[in-house]
C-alpha cells in the first residue's frame, strides 16, 4: 500500500517535495502561493477533549452519523486534535481546485440524476471532529454561499467579506456569523452536528444582541449591532433556524428600526456603509411583499448610497426601485376609498410615470454599457444545459432558460423585471380606476399596459430560475429566487394559468432541498417582538 504524502496540499498537487514547515511550508512562500496547511496534525500539536473548551462545544455539535457524503468525520473516544496552522489565506483557498466549467451550462452527464451540491464542493482531506476549525467552516461557507461569478463588486458580498476579515469582533457578531456559516455548511453537507451547533450559536447571538441593545442609546449607534441583526436575518432562510427563530420579516423590521433611529448622518464608517447597502436588498423585498413604503426610499436616505467611491448599476437601480413600495401603498389606500378623486389618481399616475421613466432609462444605460464592453446580457439555452435544475425539476412546461455571463447581471435584470411588473401592474389598475370615473378617458397608446407585457416580465423572471439553481450561483442564487417566484405564483393564480402555476410549484418543491425555503411573513415565535420592543424604547 503506497504511503500517503504528509506534505501540504499545494505541494502535493504540484508534485514537489514539501519541506513540511509549520504552520506554512517555505516552498509555498518561495513560489508566492498560499499554503493551505496539512491534512494531518503534527506530532505534539495541542490536543483537546470535547467539553474542555467552548469552541469545541460551539463547532463540534454532535457526532452525527449522516448517510453518504458529509463534511465531518467521526471522532474517536470523545477527543479530537485541532491544528492551529490556519491563516487568513485559508479563507480563499480550496485544497482541491473546482473546475468552474463543470458548474456552468453543460449537459447533464451524470446519468440523469440531480447534481448533488455536496459532490461538487470538495471535502478537505483532514477535518478534525467534532471540533471543526473555524477557518475551514468559513472557507466552506464562502464556497457554498457566495456566487462564483459575481462580476461587478456588490455590497452584499463586500459586507460578508469585510466581517470575515475583521479581527476581534463583538461576541454576538461572531456567534451570528458562526450560526450562518454552520447552518449553510451543515445544510449543504447534511451534517446534523453542524446544524445543532448553528442553532446554539443563533440562540446565543440573539440573547447577546438583546442584552447589548438593552444597555442604552449608544448601543443603537453601534455598527456591530446592525451587523448582528443582518446576519441573523440571513439565518432565517434555513429550515433548521426558521423552525425556532424569530422570522426573517421581524429581523428585517428590527434592522430598519435600528437604522432609522440612527439617522442617515450616522452612516460614516466603511462597515456602516456596507451594511446600509446590503440592507437595501432585504428592505426592498420586504417592502414589496408588505406593499408598504420604506424609509430607505426617501431622498435623505437614498443620498447615502452615493457616498460610495464608485456608483455602480446596483446603486442606481435601487435608487429608483426603493420608491416603488410607496406607490403600492398609496394605490392600496386609494383603492380602499369608496369615493376616488381624479386628482388623487392623476397624482399617483404622474409619480408612477416618472419612476417608470427612470427604470426604463436605467435598463437602457445598462444595455448600452454591456454593448460597449462587448457583453451579451443573456442568451437562451436548453434546460438540459442546466444540469442541476434539469435533474431536480422534471416538469418541462418551460424548456429554455437564460444563461448569463455572471451572477450580478442575472440578479440585477431579474430585480428590474420584478420591479417593472409591480409598477406596470399598478399603472394598469390606475388606468382602470380612472376610466371608471371618466368613461371618455383613455390612456395614451404609449402608456397602455397590455397583458403581454406583464406576462413577459413574469416569464423573463421564470427563465432566470435555472441559472440561480446551479452550483455556480450557490445559496445566494436560491435566495434570489424567493421574490420572483412569489410574483410569478400570484400572477399565474390571478390569471388562472394553472399549467404555469403547477410548474412554479414544482420548482418550489424540488429546488429547495438543501435545508432552505422562502421565508414566511408571520413569525411562529414571539422573541422577535421582544427584540423590537427593546429597539423602540
Is residue 184 within 8 A of residue 141, CB to CB? The reply is yes
In the predicted model, residues of the chain with pLDDT beneath 70 are 1-5, 23, 29-32, 38-133, 149-157, 216-217, 244-247, 513-514, 519-537
Residue range 203-240, pLDDT digits in tens: 999 899 888 888 766 777 889 999 998 899 889 888 88
Is residue 453 within 8 A of residue 424, CB to CB? The reply is yes
Residue range 303-322, pLDDT digits in tens: 999 998 888 899 999 999 99
Is residue 8 within 8 A of residue 25, CB to CB? The reply is yes
Which residue ranges form the domains of the chain, and what is each CATH number?
Answer: 1-40 (4.10.240.10), 47-261 (no CATH), 301-521 (no CATH)
Is residue 518 within 8 A of residue 241, CB to CB? The reply is no
Is residue 152 within 8 A of residue 408, CB to CB? The reply is yes
**What are residue 79's DSSP bridge partners?**
49, 76
Residue 437: per-residue pLDDT: 95
- Scan for cell 444595455, then name that residue: 367
Is residue 148 within 8 A of residue 474, CB to CB? The reply is yes
379, containing H or E segment = strand 379-382
- Scan for cell 412569489, then name that residue: 486
Residue 88: per-residue pLDDT: 30
Listing DSSP states for 395-463 in one string gives --S--EEEE-SSHHHHHHHHHHHHHHHHHHHHHHHHHHHHHHH-TT----GGG---HHHHHHHHHHHHT
Residue 227: per-residue pLDDT: 92
Residue 236: per-residue pLDDT: 86
Is residue 534 within 8 A of residue 258, CB to CB? The reply is no
Relative orientation angle of helices 134-145 and 155-164, to the nearest 10 degrees: 170
Residue 48: per-residue pLDDT: 30
Residues contacting 15, CB < 8 A, separation 6+:
none
Cα Rg of the chain, angstroms = 25
Residue 150: per-residue pLDDT: 63
Residues contacting 202, CB < 8 A, separation 6+:
175, 176, 179, 183, 232, 235, 241, 244, 245
Residue 237: per-residue pLDDT: 87
Q: Is 535 helix (H, G, I), strand (E, B) or coil?
A: helix
Is residue 454 within 8 A of residue 490, CB to CB? The reply is no
DSSP state of 50: T
CA–CA separation, 80 vs 235, rounded Å? Answer: 28
Residues contacting 497, CB < 8 A, separation 6+:
491
Amino acid at each position: 500500500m503506497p504511503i500517503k504524502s504528509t506534505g501540504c496540499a499545494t505541494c502535493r498537487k504540484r508534485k514537489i517535495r514539501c519541506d513540511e514547515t509549520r504552520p506554512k511550508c517555505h516552498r509555498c512562500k518561495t513560489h508566492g502561493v498560499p499554503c493551505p496547511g496539512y491534512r494531518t496534525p503534527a506530532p505534539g500539536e495541542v490536543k483537546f477533549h470535547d467539553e474542555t473548551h467552548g469552541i469545541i462545544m460551539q463547532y463540534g455539535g454532535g457526532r452525527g452519523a449522516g448517510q453518504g457524503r458529509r463534511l465531518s468525520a467521526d471522532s474517536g473516544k470523545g477527543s479530537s486534535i485541532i491544528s492551529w496552522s490556519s491563516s487568513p489565506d485559508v479563507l480563499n483557498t480550496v485544497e482541491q481546485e473546482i473546475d468552474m466549467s463543470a458548474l456552468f451550462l453543460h449537459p447533464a452527464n451524470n446519468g440523469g440524476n440531480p447534481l448533488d451540491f455536496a459532490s461538487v464542493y470538495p471535502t478537505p482531506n483532514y477535518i478534525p471532529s467534532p471540533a471543526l476549525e473555524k477557518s475551514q467552516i468559513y472557507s466552506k461557507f464562502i464556497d457554498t454561499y457566495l456566487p462564483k461569478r459575481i462580476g461587478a463588486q456588490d455590497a452584499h458580498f463586500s459586507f460578508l467579506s469585510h466581517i470575515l476579515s475583521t479581527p476581534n469582533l463583538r461576541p454576538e457578531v461572531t456567534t451570528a456569523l458562526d450560526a450562518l456559516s454552520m447552518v449553510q455548511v451543515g445544510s449543504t453537507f447534511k451534517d446534523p452536528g453542524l446544524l445543532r451547533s448553528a442553532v446554539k450559536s443563533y440562540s446565543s447571538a440573539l440573547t447577546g444582541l438583546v442584552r447589548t441593545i438593552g444597555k442604552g442609546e449608544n448601543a443603537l449607534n453601534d455598527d456591530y449591532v446592525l451587523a448582528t441583526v443582518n446576519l441573523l436575518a440571513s439565518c432565517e432562510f434555513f429550515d433548521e433556524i426558521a423552525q425556532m427563530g424569530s422570522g426573517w420579516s421581524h429581523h428585517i423590521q428590527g434592522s430598519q428600526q435600528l437604522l432609522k433611529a440612527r439617522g442617515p448622518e450616522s452612516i460614516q464608517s466603511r462597515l456602516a456603509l456596507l451594511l446600509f447597502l446590503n440592507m437595501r436588498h432585504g428592505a426592498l423585498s420586504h417592502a414589496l411583499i408588505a406593499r408598504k413604503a420604506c424609509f430607505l426610499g426617501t431622498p435623505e436616505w437614498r443620498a447615502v448610497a452615493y457616498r460610495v467611491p464608485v456608483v455602480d448599476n446596483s446603486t442606481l437601480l435601487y435608487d429608483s426601485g426603493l420608491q416603488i413600495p410607496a406607490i403600492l401603498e398609496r394605490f392600496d389606500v386609494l383603492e380602499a376609498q369608496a369615493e376616488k378623486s381624479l386628482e388623487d389618481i392623476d397624482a399617483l399616475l404622474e409619480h408612477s410615470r416618472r419612476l417608470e421613466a427612470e427604470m426604463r432609462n436605467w435598463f437602457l444605460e445598462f444595455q448600452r454599457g454591456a454593448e460597449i464592453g462587448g457583453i451579451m446580457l443573456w442568451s437562451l439555452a436548453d434546460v438540459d444545459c442546466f444540469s442541476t435544475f434539469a435533474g431536480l425539476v422534471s416538469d418541462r412546461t418551460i424548456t429554455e432558460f437564460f444563461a448569463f455571463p455572471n451572477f450580478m447581471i442575472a440578479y440585477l435584470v431579474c430585480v428590474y423585471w420584478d420591479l417593472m411588473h409591480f409598477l406596470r401592474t399598478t399603472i394598469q389598475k390606475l388606468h382602470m380606476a380612472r376610466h371608471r370615473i371618466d368613461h371618455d378617458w383613455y390612456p395614451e397608446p404609449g402608456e397602455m399596459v397590455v397583458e403581454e407585457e406583464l406576462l413577459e416580465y413574469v416569464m423573463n423572471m421564470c427563465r432566470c430560475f435555472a441559472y440561480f439553481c446551479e452550483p455556480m450561483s450557490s445559496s445566494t442564487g436560491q435566495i434570489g429566487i424567493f421574490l420572483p417566484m412569489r410574483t410569478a405564483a400570484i400572477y399565474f393564480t390571478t390569471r388562472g394559468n394553472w399549467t404555469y402555476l403547477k410548474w412554479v410549484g414544482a420548482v418550489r418543491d424540488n429546488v429547495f432541498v438543501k435545508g432552505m425555503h422562502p421565508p414566511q411573513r408571520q413569525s411562529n415565535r414571539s422573541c422577535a417582538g421582544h427584540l423590537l420592543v427593546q429597539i423602540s424604547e
